[in-house]
Amino acid sequence: MTSPVTLEVVAVDGAARAGVAHTAAGAYRTPCFMPVGTRAAVKYLDASDYEALGAEIVLANTYHLMLRPGADVVAAFGGVGPFAGWRGLTLTDSGGFQVFSLTPDVDDDGVTFRSVYDGSRHRLTPESAVAAQEQLGATIQMALDVCPGLPAPPEVITAAVERTAAWAKRARAAHRRPDQALFGIVQGGVDEVLRRDSAGRTVELDFDGYGIGGLSVGETRAEMLPALAAALDELPADRPRYLMGVGDPVSLVEAVTLGVDQFDCVLPTRLGRHGTALTATGKVHLRNARHGRSDEPLDAACACSVCRRHSRGYLRHLFLVNEPSASRLLTLHNLAWTLGLMEQMRAAIAAGALAGLRAEVLATWA
């Protein structure tokens, strides 16, 4: 079967690879970071900001958009990209993360949620998750999975693997749009045997790409990385590998070193909204009094619009007086910094120098 997504690998450095993922709607460079626009917008930003930042693909949340404004409304606008005025690529998650975050009722057939907006009950099955995402019209959609938090009893992890595998088969059968890619998801907690088993069963279904879920949900990084490596060993080289919900600098560089191609996470934007900047020298907590008279930029090595124009002292002032532009400016900087880190990794892989960049990141952030 011809896949609507293929990964052209242009450079390798050990297990790490840099490339271009070609989709029916365009291409994106890997490894990449996808900003999270939960309700068809990254908080405090809009599509013109994503373009200025150089983002190529942005994530939106199926659960939230099917509730407000409704998948049919988004479809009437031509899909989530046109709805948001975004001309780049998009990925919609399936609602599987809400299985972790909202603790809904889960059975073998699907998931029953209560709306976070009005308390009404809503049902998602593998088939209806595909149908909703086909209406949302993203470039890439994700199969519905079960994402347990960690630590969890072995029987909970095993049940999640079994349900995720059964739901993956149903999602694959339900998928109808040849112009829209469908990614399967690997589960298994931190159990390397289960990770390999889940990955192998998912690959048998010949998805267009592969998400690795159920990590960064309570385990340590020392537990996460071997489980991630076990899953990656089973995934094909010509399809994108997507580590879901991971965005701290150390995990990004460690996962790229192992062979991951794409990421999403709310961490950079959440930190920014609360006054913490990501920089080449580590986190900068702007509310600290020592920044009050500082005319330094957030990061002297950063070329983003915020660092070119504003001082730490000014940005701290904005936070202390609860000026909304404070959150906007730090969100812009943190996304620019994270996207810049991905660009550095692509260049380092091409130069065979990823080990040196990894050492620098670990020395600053580990």
The residues that are catalytic are 93, 264
- Helix, strand or coil, per DSSP, at residue 59: strand
- Helix, strand or coil, per DSSP, at residue 78: coil
C-alpha distance across the termini of the chain, in Å: 42
Question: In angstroms, rounded to a whole number, what is the distance separating the alpha carbons of residues 195 and 243?
Answer: 13
DSSP 289: G
Q: Give the closest residue to 23 by CA, choosing from 208, 186, 263.
A: 208
Strands lying side by side in the sheet with 89-92? 32-34, 262-264, 241-243, 209-212, 181-186, 140-142, 89-92, 57-60
Strands (E), 205-352: 209-212, 241-243, 262-264, 276-279, 282-285
DSSP element (H, E) containing 91 = strand 89-92
